[in-house]
Structure 1
């Protein structure tokens, strides 16, 4: 019997997000880091009933359980990365229009305040982690999570977009300049169509 989980293809070519994220970074990030999480997850659940569940279900079932921490970390990182790739698009970013644009105005006051809050969450996440735009109680919020943590298992919180701030997401292109990477990602790569679709 084959491995239960396989890699979802990238939604664009490896060089499509250049120059903000180079083909070299995307190749390593998707081809090595993301793939390793998936391969490790497959080994971990080989003899576990969890292998019958979806990645999302595994994340929810293992969250907060110390004896399942390794499974959670790898499943969550697979889910996080699949979500992250779709949170980005070539020629994306900037101020959105439509429903998501209106909600940003209602929730944050204006786009600049939203951008500042998202960038602050991404740059102040100590060590490795993620910054998220979420829907909570009809309003948009910004959250940051450490390591593999994500909003999937939080009641009443729905992720709309994410920015990866693990060093492997930007170090080849920006070295220690996380702030520059985050600002360029917000300005040029965020996939507002994906966020709007996630509003449901």
Structure 2
């Protein structure tokens, strides 16, 4: 199994030490970068780019919100898991829409932390029940305007099939097997879907597909 390279960004040393002790017990997950702020992280990313970043929100010298936007602008393939005490549904919905791949509260258990890290690498996102509820409320309250139906996005029948399987949490390999297509072909469909729906990752794809009622939950 390939090693997952991890970055940890938090301005509390004791918290970082606690997370490091948990990561040491996880197979094939290696902490390769530590930072104390978004600014510190971006400087260090010039030399080393992890697969996944565990990112706090409330930090000096660039908070986690601004850091997420900067990361996704410069490193669109990097996975970001927000790790915070903030429970606001609007914050969760916003961060997931602008590119975060997962959102965990700091009182989460070690197993869920490991599951989230592996899920964002494998599927591109991690939604636990708390986040799913927050997202659905955010989608419901997003706007009173009528939804834009899928035809305006000019999605093909095959793209709609792929999109439906993505919302069911199928991996690229699983979609390829289900539709009897190559992984490369599915990756192409994913790329086209993200371009047409104007989103940056799988989480954003699911959120917009549900919000615009292209796919029903």
Q: Give TM-score, length-normalised by structure 2.
A: 0.25
Higher relative contact order (CA 8 A, sep 6+): 1
Which of these two proteins has the greater Rg computed from alpha carbons? Answer: 2
